[in-house]
Amino acid sequence: MTTTGSHKDAHAPWMTAAEAAAALGVTRATLYAYVSRGRVRSQATAGRTRARGYSRDDVERLRQRTEERRAPDQAAARSLQWGLPVLESSIALIDGHRLYYRGHDAVVLARTRSVQEVASLIWTGGFGAPLAESSASRLEPVLASDGPFIARAQAMLAMAAASDPAAFDTRAEAVTRTGWRILQVLVDAAIGQHGADHTLDDALSRAWRVDGAGAELLRGLLILCADHELNVSSFTARCVASAGSSPYGVVIAGLSALEGPRHGGSSARAEAMLGEFRRASDLRRAIVARQSRGDRLDGFGHPLYPSGDPRAVDVIDWLRAAGAGSSAEQRFVTAVARAVTAATGERPNLDFALAAASRVLRLPTGAPLILFALGRAIGWIGHALEQYATGQLIRPRAKYVGVVPAQL
């Protein structure tokens, strides 16, 4: 355990007694009383000492309750801005260093499991429970050929929903079958043709002419994009599901949120930034020029990973180990990552990793956002399943700060 105030472990799941007591504003004796009453979990830490760790989640939950009593309006507002949890979910855990899907390290899953298995895990908790893609009844909506990917995908999903008799069946087993059909529609929109009986990653690999280690990386990218707790698109998906909308509506809404430049659209911005830097004669000057214009260096830094996004670390390592390290594009993206980190102190995140992989694999323009959307749709369907099961409508209240109406 680190000492109090360590920025590196600001999101670690366990705290020292001193950290926990300071966070709660109580004495250690009071902290121990909370433990004895079952309000804060405690466990022995590794090492020779007999020190114990205290659950950060429990401590934060207690602190949140105190804040709500003292300033309920402020506490509620902060919870919607990288704040404390506002909804329960058993899908993803972010502990400040790693990302887990239902207790399994997402990086390990990306290396060892298929997209179907990970979707099964997110949707049902097991690796093989849902109906396999090849046995699900396929839909073949009219292919939308005009406009950007998000618009095409939304149009095709709307058409598919209109012809799917099971679209509004929100029972868990039915949603998993519908989920496979939705993912296939998204792949069809991505490659501009019906994907036949190929798996998601295989259909992309064939259409984009990627094989061997590159095809493995595409599979891994989809898995690493699958879920990331209550990001804006997943929260949007849950809100739509809470209204009783179909899984198609959930994914259409999720796509709308994802394409925003402050969310998944940042991968498209990172893609464009890499193109700009590739054309520059001096990388360092290009970075300074971008900063001087007030433009963001997209694809770097993440509030939930102060020590670096593990998904990006894995993708960059994957590219290097796959033998792409000798390519000009691999050397270029590595140089960009090092130069931006040296200039800002920020490390690459998933958006940069998607853009970097796309350049090294020579994927078509727009591929980073397509991969992000295809992978994240798995998570949206998982969140819809959780929300359908609660039967609850997500309906927060707004704090009115406008003109006070005249007294009648």
206-242 pLDDT, tens per residue?
999 998 999 999 999 999 999 999 999 999 999 999 9
Active-site annotation holder among 58, 164, 351, 383: 351
For residues 270 and 277, give the distance between their C-alpha atoms in angstroms, rounded to a whole number. Answer: 10
For residues 154 and 144, give the distance between their C-alpha atoms in angstroms, rounded to a whole number. Answer: 9
> Looking at residue 327, what is its pLDDT?
86
Tokens of 102: 């239902």
User: What are the strands of the beta sheet with 92-94, ordered from one edge?
Assistant: 92-94, 99-101, 104-105
pLDDT, tens only, 37-86: 888 988 887 666 678 899 887 888 788 777 666 655 555 555 565 555 57
Active-site annotation holder among 198, 302, 309, 383: 302
> Looking at residue 64, what is its pLDDT?
74
Type and span of the H or E element at 44? strand 42-44
> Looking at residue 2, what is its pLDDT?
37
Least confident window among 13-17, 281-285, 351-355: 13-17
Distances (CA, A) of 201 to 194, 311, 320, 383: 14, 18, 21, 22
Task: With cut-offs at 50, 70 and 90, classify the pLDDT of residue 135.
Answer: very low
Task: With cut-offs at 50, 70 and 90, classify the pLDDT of residue 5.
Answer: very low
Would you tell me the crossing angle of helices 115-124 and 367-390 to the nearest 10 degrees?
30
297: amino acid identity, one letter: L
pTM: 0.81
Tokens of 22: 């300071």
DSSP 47: S
> Looking at residue 136, what is its pLDDT?
45
Cβ–Cβ < 8 Å for 156, 145: no
Torsion sign over Cα 250, 244, 93, 55:
positive
Q: DSSP H helical segments within 301-366, as ranges?
A: 310-321, 328-344, 350-360
Average pLDDT score over residue span 318-325 = 72
Output the CA angle 8-11-16, nearest 5 degrees. 85
Cβ–Cβ < 8 Å for 213, 322: yes
For residues 300 and 51, give the distance between their C-alpha atoms in angstroms, rounded to a whole number. Answer: 36
Cβ–Cβ < 8 Å for 246, 254: no
The residues of the chain that CATH labels 1.10.580.10 are 115-394
Greatest distance between any 2 Cα atoms in the chain: 76
The residues of the chain that CATH labels 1.10.1660 are 14-79
Cβ–Cβ < 8 Å for 16, 1: yes
351 is catalytic: yes
Integer Rg of the chain from CA = 23
Residue 338 CB partners (closer than 8 Å, separation 6+): none
- pLDDT of residue 162 exceeding 90: yes
Residue 264 CB partners (closer than 8 Å, separation 6+): 233, 258, 351, 369, 372, 373, 376
> Looking at residue 89, what is its pLDDT?
94
Cβ–Cβ < 8 Å for 4, 39: no
302 is catalytic: yes
User: Which class does domain 115-394 fall in?
Assistant: mainly alpha
**14-79 CATH, one of 1.10.3470, 1.20.1410, 3.30.450, 1.10.1660:** 1.10.1660
